[in-house]
């Protein structure tokens, strides 16, 4: 039978999301492609420091055993092949030798390779690539490379936090809020409490994580949290939607508009996903965070709400 990734959780990640290539990237942004490649060539034997999503990747790979390879991480990067060689050497140096697949496009759009990979998640520092991936139907987030690093206090848990509307769920309710305000939003969600919300762009990732958790134990576990600006009575529809999907989250925070950053600091996720730039910025001061450019808030521009 041909080799397939169909039975695995597949994470596609850019080199800047996995490793700290910010100094090298500044050279690239100054428009000197040749100088960038030469810098990476000179540093081939210098492992890059861990980046924002490093902890998430390392812990997910810990679900693999010699008998069962349940997670596949593929580097999907606009980098050139020389820089790709440094990425793989950095993986080896940091104990990520199981990362063996990569696509390096030398500046061309990399997101088109998400389809043959069957990716459940795409993490990149390039906002345009993330938007295109979301349009293609893949869970994707723009990594804030200035985010805080993940805590080291939960070595046997992958902790992931999700916003609700326009991330796990569709932006149906958010559209009501944007057009008519909080009172109309609360009434809308109360009236439709028994009607599950349509799925959002990150529901497939949540489902894949649920399957990974159910597949068997390697000593690792997954802990998820819903961290939302919703509050009672709008909480009920969110909970009922998860029940309808037959997927449970470990924690749910209905914050009613309070800043999410300090709550996330206590949860200590390896990554947090949100569609609102204000929430992502608040979170990034404490934890690794990514912006999901989906939903009406991103059509209208950042609101920070």
Active site members: 163
247 with 207: CB under 8 angstroms? yes
Torsion over CA: 54, 51, 229, 268 (sign): positive
Task: Give one word for 137, left, alpha or beta, with left for phi > 0 and alpha for psi -120 to 50.
Answer: left
139 with 205: CB under 8 angstroms? yes
264 with 285: CB under 8 angstroms? no
Q: 146, 82, 135: which is closest to 109 by C-alpha?
A: 135
Residues 6+ away with beta carbon under 8 Å from 195: 237
Task: Give 129-158 as a DSSP string.
Answer: HHHHHHHTT--EEEE-TTSPPPPSS-TTEE
Q: Tell whether omega for the bond before 203 is within 30 degrees of 0, i.e. cis.
A: no
Q: Output the CA torsion 251→11→125→27 (10° steps).
A: 140
C-alpha angle with apex 35: 97 to 146, nearest 5 degrees? 60
Q: HSE on the CB side for 271, CA within 13 Å?
A: 29
Q: 217, 205, 242: which is closest to 157 by C-alpha?
A: 217
Q: 133, 36, 44: which is closest to 92 by C-alpha?
A: 44
């Amino acid at each position: 039978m041909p080799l397939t990734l169909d039975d695995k959780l597949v994470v596609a990640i850019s080199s800047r999301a996995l490793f700290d290539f910010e100094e090298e990237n500044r050279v690239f942004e100054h428009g000197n492609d040749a100088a960038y490649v030469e810098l990476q060539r000179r540093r081939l034997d210098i492992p890059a420091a861990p980046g924002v999503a490093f902890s998430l990747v390392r812990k997910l790979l810990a679900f693999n055993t010699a008998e069962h390879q349940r997670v596949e991480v593929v580097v999907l990067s606009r980098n050139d092949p020389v820089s790709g060689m440094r990425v793989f050497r950095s993986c080896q140096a940091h104990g990520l030798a199981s990362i063996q697949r990569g696509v390096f496009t030398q500046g061309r759009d990399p997101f088109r390779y998400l389809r043959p990979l069957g990716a459940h998640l795409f993490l990149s520092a390039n906002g345009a690539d993330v938007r295109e991936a979301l349009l293609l139907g893949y869970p994707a987030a723009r990594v804030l490379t200035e985010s805080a690093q993940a805590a080291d206090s939960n070595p046997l848990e992958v902790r992931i936090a999700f916003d609700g509307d326009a991330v796990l769920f569709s932006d149906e309710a958010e559209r009501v809020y944007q057009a008519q305000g909080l009172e109309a939003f609360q009434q809308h969600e109360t009236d439709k409490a028994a009607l599950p919300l349509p799925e959002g762009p990150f529901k497939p990732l949540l489902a894949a994580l649920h399957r990974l958790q159910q597949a068997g134990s390697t000593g690792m576990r997954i802990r998820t949290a819903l961290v939302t600006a919703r509050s009672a009575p709008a909480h009920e529809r969110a909970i009922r939607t998860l029940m309808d999907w037959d997927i449970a989250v470990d924690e749910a925070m209905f914050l009613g508009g309070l800043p999410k950053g300090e709550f996330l600091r206590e949860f200590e996720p390896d990554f947090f996903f949100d569609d609102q730039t204000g929430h992502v910025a608040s979170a990034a001061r404490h934890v690794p965070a990514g912006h999901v450019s989906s939903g009406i808030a991103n059509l209208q521009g950042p609101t920070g709400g």
